Chains A and B, each alone.
Chain A
Amino acid sequence: MITKRIIPCLDVNKGRVVKGVSFINLKDAGDPVELAAYYDKQGADEIVFLDITASHEKRKTIIELASKTAEKVFIPYTIGGGISEIEDIREILKKGADKVSINTAAVENPSLIEKSSKIFGSQCIVVAVDAKYRENDFWEVYIHGGRTPTGKNVTDWVAEVEQLGAGEILLTSMDRDGTKDGYDIELTSAVTSAVNIPVIASGGAGNLEHLRDVIKLANADAVLVASIFHYGEYTVRQAKEFLKSEGINIRI
């Protein structure tokens, strides 16, 4: 049966990894490609790059990242961060990226999901959704890196993007992101129940039990992990061995 995926996430600014990455055994721990290759060796199932470059150079740096990664990394990788044009998606995929993730542009221009999934196939269009708890069963979708509320209910929105052709949801809990208190099980359950496409849970991983819980209790198909890997608290291999020992189907 299909395995659950462990996906390290790298934030990249102007071609460099941001947020402390504290590996001492890498030539250049700030090089996103070298880090991705390192995670591939450790057994990561995929890599997600989030490009946060905010300048006119952005298009160039993001395409360069796609291209350089393809030469050294032989597992699938997704690139996201401010992508809003069909031509940019085309270029990124052409360089060897497997998927692009779209967030703000998907809300502002939902036809982008429809068009891009028709042209390139649903499987390479990931819609990233940032959600914040409001009340009862209402989580609100935010855009612009979590600065702008949209009024949209997350469960309605994910169902809509599935209809439009998205192939996967990258779901981030804004309430949990950066807390290390664990993934938001309720939010993730609400989303995995609302769609029939794979869901990557993100935000809040602080230990390996958190990974297990969101997979077992919320049926996440994959978990996005950042700081606990980057700061060397756990290796990808340790995470996978733990999940396997907990009876989860994992590729070792």
Chain B
Amino acid sequence: MYIAIVNYNMGNIKSVENAFRKIGAEIKVTSDPEVINSSSAIVLPGVGAFKDAINNLKDLKLLDVIKENINKKLFLGICLGMQLLYEYSMEDGKSRGLGVLKGFVGKIPSVVKVPHMGWNQIKIINKNNKLFSDIDNGENFYFIHSYHIIPENRNVISSVTDYGIEIVSSIEKGNIYGFQFHPEKSSTIGLKILNNFWKLVKENS
């Protein structure tokens, strides 16, 4: 039993790895399709440009591997790792995403400061979300992003964040979880969320 943390040469992979190590989770940081196929759960981290991320996944032949695995096991996408699940992004010209979820990724409008950077509160909409177990409504998490998701179906939204405009801060659909914020950089409270994910992995295995 282990979580496969997908290594596709984008930023923050090391931080996600360190955070899961800190909570004592069994992990493998990998770009090997076999290791991903045999895992109990997948974490897709990611900071950087959307197009580069998709191209890296393509070069590593991981696009199909992720698509094939995503409905079979627990999946957590963090920041760009969540955005990649959508149909397309407006970043740097329109580029196609994995299309696992309906909707797109748009630029945060410049009526507010861009990037959205710093600690902001989440308003939990889906109280049954297991990753928010023991997490209070209004708790602060660390955000750092210039693009945000616009889901077609609002049922997937598990929390939102007020930044002058509404930011979808997390989603849940079946076994797929996604965070716009960075639990791996959100101190004790962030580690708690990752621990909730690890607990879920253990329960499901």
Q: Is A222 an interface residue (CB 8 A)?
A: yes
Q: Are B120 and A96 in contact (CB under 8 A)?
A: no
**In the complex, are the beta carbons of A197 and B115 less than 8 A apart?**
yes
- A74 engages B19 (CB within 8 Å): yes
A3-B118 in contact given A120-B11, A122-B146, A196-B113 (Cβ < 8 Å): yes
Given the known A-B contacts A74-B190, A123-B146, are A251 and B119 also in contact in the complex, defined by CB atoms under 8 Å?
yes
Q: Which of B18, B115, B190 contacts A71 (CB 8 A)?
A: B18
Considering the complex, give the chain B residue whose CB is closest to the CB of A118. B49
Compute how far the CA of A198 lies from the CA of B163 in the bound complex, rounded to whole angstroms.
13
Q: Is A24 part of the contact surface with B, judged by Cβ < 8 Å?
A: no
Is B130 in the interface zone, CB < 8 Å from A? no
Q: Interface 1/0s, chain A 188-225, versus B by CB < 8 A? A: 00000000111000000000000000000000011000
Known: A118-B49, A120-B11, A121-B146. A1 touches B162 (CB 8 A): yes
Q: Which of A2, A45, A121 contacts B11 (CB 8 A)?
A: A121
Q: Which A residue's beta carbon lies closest to that of B47? A: A121
Q: Which residues of A contact B31 (CB under 8 A)?
A: none
Interface centre among A4, A123, A222 (most CB of B within 10 A): A123
Nearest residue (CB) in A for B184 is A74
Which residues of chain B come closer than 8 Å to A5, judged between CB atoms? 118-119
Give the contacting residue for B117; candidates A93, A119, A120, A167; CB below 8 A. Answer: A167
A124 in contact with B14 (CB, 8 Å) = no
Within 8 A of A (CB), among B76-128: 110, 113-121
Given contacts A120-B48, A198-B118, contact A98 B185 (CB under 8 A): yes
Complex: A118 Cα to B120 Cα, angstroms: 26
Which chain B residues lie closer than 8 Å to A70 at the CB level?
A: 14-15, 18
CB pair A1–B120 under 8 Å, yes or no, is yes
CB-CB contacts of B1-41 with A at 8 A, as 1s and 0s? 00000000001111100110010000000000000000000
B163 / chain A contacts, CB cutoff of 8 Å: 1-2
Chain B residues within 8 Å of chain A by Cβ, number: 39
In the complex, A180 has a CB within 8 A of chain B: no
Q: Are A96 and B15 in contact (CB under 8 A)?
A: yes
CA distance in complex: A229, B128 (Å): 41
For residue B129, CB closer than 8 A to chain A, the reply is no
* A74 and B187 in contact, given A45-B119, A95-B14, A121-B146 (Cβ under 8 angstroms): yes
Find the residue from A76, A95, A168 having the highest chain B CB count within 10 A: A76
* Residue contact B113 to A198, C-beta cutoff 8 Å: yes
A40 interface hit (Cβ, 8 Å): yes
Nearest CB on A from B19, distance (A):
6
Chain B residues lying within 8 Å of A168, measured Cβ to Cβ, are 115, 117
Complex CA distance for A76 and B48, rounded to whole angstroms: 16
What CA separation (Å) do A94 and B9 show in the bound complex?
8
Pick from B22, B115, B118, B186: contact of A122, CB below 8 A. B115
Which chain A positions have C-beta within 8 A of B114?
Answer: 196-197
Is the C-beta of B156 less than 8 angstroms from some C-beta in chain A? no
Of chain B, the residue at the smallest CB distance from A67 is B14
Q: Please give the distance in Å from A115's CB to the nearest CB on chain B.
A: 12
Cβ-defined contact, B119 with A74, below 8 A: no
- 14 residue pairs A–B, Cβ–Cβ below 8 Å: A2-B143, A70-B15, A74-B22, A76-B144, A94-B11, A120-B47, A120-B48, A121-B48, A123-B117, A124-B11, A167-B115, A196-B114, A197-B113, A221-B118
**B-to-A contact residues, CB < 8 Å:** 11-15, 18-19, 22, 47-49, 52, 110, 113-121, 140, 142-146, 162-164, 182, 184-188, 190-191
Given contacts A121-B47, A251-B119, 14 further A-B contacts (CB under 8 A): A1-B163, A1-B164, A5-B119, A70-B18, A74-B188, A75-B142, A76-B185, A94-B11, A96-B12, A98-B144, A121-B11, A122-B115, A124-B11, A221-B113
